[in-house]
Structure 1
Amino acid sequence: MNRLNFAVRTIAIGLGLAASNSFAAEGYPTQPVKMIVGYAPGGSVDTFARIVAPKLGAELGQPIVIENVPGAGGIIAVTRAVNAKPDGYTILMGIVSDVVIAPLVQNSAKYTYKDLTAIAPLGISGVGLVANPQLGIRTFGDLIRRAKAEPGKLTYGATGVGSLPAIAMESFKKTTGADITFIPYASASKIATDVIGGNVDLAISGLPALLEFIKSGRVTPIGVMSHERDIGNLEMPSAGETPELKGMDYYFWTGIFAPGETPEPVVKKLNAAFARVMAQPDVQERFKALGVKVSPPTSPGQFGQFVANSHQQWATAIQEAGVPKQ
């Protein structure tokens, strides 16, 4: 084959693939779409998915079927999404913990964020710190002073050694010189229950999981581990309001992903449909009630860059906190 014929054939193949992708997006979807959720029914991420799924299905004209794949802090679910056929019929509701942090701290995570196609962000929610009311600790300042006066006596519960809340708290300890003993837990709801029962002094978790305990007065809210106050509870001070913690800015983000190499026209169609869902007033109100600040409409490329920046931020934070890979 001469060079001219080779070039013509290459162009023809490229045009054929582009036309095929465009046609696939035009007809997409023609069957139900599976949304993988890496956590058990009833948890925060599952709740987010169940708010979004019927609305997204209405926009796309096909049902969104939620598949809960709990285990290993979301690693099993992300692995399943990474290995799924990249045709738009499998999507993932991923969070910073399983998409970005897990590969940095867990040897069992055999993927990176680059193995996924970013579609669209859902929103962000805070990392809250609460205490047993009997302790009399009501502010970050109170906690720092008590921990320094009684080194090693106070305890805090968080999910997993390499979880976002645990890393945030270890960063808090390193930044302030506070000595607080870490007690690992399997679930956030169990930590809050043990704080109420006096089995552990402090709980640090995603704020949505703590809101009902705070509202009922069963735990004392200390603050959120971010620069700004959180939409979930604007009365809770932010870490940025305490001089010793001005550099601290930890929060959860949630978004929609697809397997790597999912055709761009399909990704754009999913992005546009998801943006319309998240713009609906009733959806925004429901997420606000859960303590989630809905993200503005963002292109897949912009969300992909956000995820890449988050990876870099967490790689640095994990190194500074001295969290070993396990």
Structure 2
Amino acid sequence: MKRQAFLWAGAALAFAAPLAFAQSLPSGPVKIVVGYSAGGAVDVVARAVAVRLQAELKQPVIVDNKPGGGSNIAARTVVTSPADGATLLMAANAVAANMALYQPAPYDVEKDLAPVALIGRVPVIIAVNPESPYKTLAQLIEAAKAKPESVGYATPGNGSTPHLAMELFASAAKINFMHVPYKGGAQALTDVIGGQVPVVALNALEILPHWKSGKLRPLAVLSAKRSALFPDVPTIAESGFPGFEASVWYGLMAPAGTPKPVLAALSAAAVKAAHSTEVKERLAQAGGDSTPGDAAAFAKHLHAERERYTKLITAAKIKPD
């Protein structure tokens, strides 16, 4: 009888676990809000995650693009949504930087949003026109040291992740570049390919097709390890800056006040999604890596990034477009 009771208890627990998981989740569709246009790196990652998250949660997961305001429109949409787990933000570096960039601050990322899970990273790449005299990052640094602010670099705009990455790099290298901000990556690429600006800093996904067509020559990836899509391009650490990294990262966040059981269920599902072959492949196609992390790991990462960006933006007096 005792053995039979034990077996019945085990069966009951096995049934209760998925039931408890399901009861922790919102009953309707889950929406992932993206602060960038369709087709961009953040959107591509969000859609891959949505497919796997739908399989894990066994309910519809949709992507809602709300570009503009340096991703503040999307973030505010999630901040002001009901804290029930039905509305999530596909966050990137901007959520850690925008409180220092914009005054008054549009939100407090550590008070108004709750980390769900880290998903992955895509490196920022420094590239030049193939006709450029700079063959290596060392040569670029040497030129910038010889004539401060004589070497211009293009980015998608003031306060963009590539801009902040280059400012962090310039600080580490003790050099001064001349920043040339554009209204998006496409315009920046056009002028660098055309020879109007010598250097461009963008995420790997935007650099890739122009490197393949021979229109750009990458000098370095600003990540801890080499990109599988750019195997011959050295990392920033290999170029003389060990420990330095300035990648674009992605993670899911929910409105503050979302019940802990809901956050736990969403975090578990999101980490599984990040571990999936589909998400790994999509990130690899963008030149990045899956770097799954639970809510606690994401919170720690977010706090460190916020401090790093706040210090940089304040010291350099960076203002958004």
TM-score class, shorter: 0.7 to 0.9
* Separation in 1, partners of 2:246, 2:51: 31
Alignment match, 1:250: 246
The counterpart of 2:129, out of the listed 123, 127, 132, is 132
Amino acid at match of 1:312: E
Q: What one-letter code is carried by the residue in structure 2 that aligns with 1:299? A: D
User: Any gaps of 5 or more consecutive residues in structure 2?
Assistant: 1-18
Q: Any residues of structure 2 matched to 1:1-326 within 5 Å, and which?
A: 26=23, 28-97=25-94, 99-107=95-103, 109-114=105-110, 115-243=112-240, 245-246=241-242, 248-296=244-292, 298-320=293-315, 322-324=316-318
- Partners of 2:25 and 2:108 lie apart in 1 by 27
Work out the percentage of aligned pairs sharing the same amino acid: 33
Matches of 2:143 and 2:43 in 1, distance apart?
Answer: 37
Structure 1 spans left out of the alignment, 5+ residues:
1-21
**Contact 1:271 1:299 (8 Å CA) reproduced:** yes
Q: TM-score, normalised by structure 2?
A: 0.86
For the residue of structure 2 that corresponds to 1:257, the secondary structure is: strand
Alpha-carbon distance in 2 for matches of 1:276, 1:248: 28
* Superimposed CA distance per residue, residues 138-185 of structure 1 (whole angstroms, 9 cap, x where no aligned partner): 211111222334544432111222222212223333444544321111
- Give the superposition deviation at 1:325: 5.2
Residues in 2 aligned to 1:309 and 1:151: alpha-carbon distance in whole angstroms: 30
Aligned-residue Cα RMSD (Å) equals 2.2
Query: TM-score, normalization: structure 1?
Result: 0.85
Distance 1:139 1:67 in 2: 41
Taking the aligned partners of 2:53 and 2:135, their CA distance within structure 1 comes to 41
Higher helix share: 1
* CA shift in 2, pair 1:167/1:286, >3 Å: closer
Q: Deviations over 1:201-245 (max 9, x none)?
A: 1111122221221222210101022444334423211222233x4
CA distance in 2, matches of 1:231, 1:278: 18
How many residue pairs get aligned? The number is 301
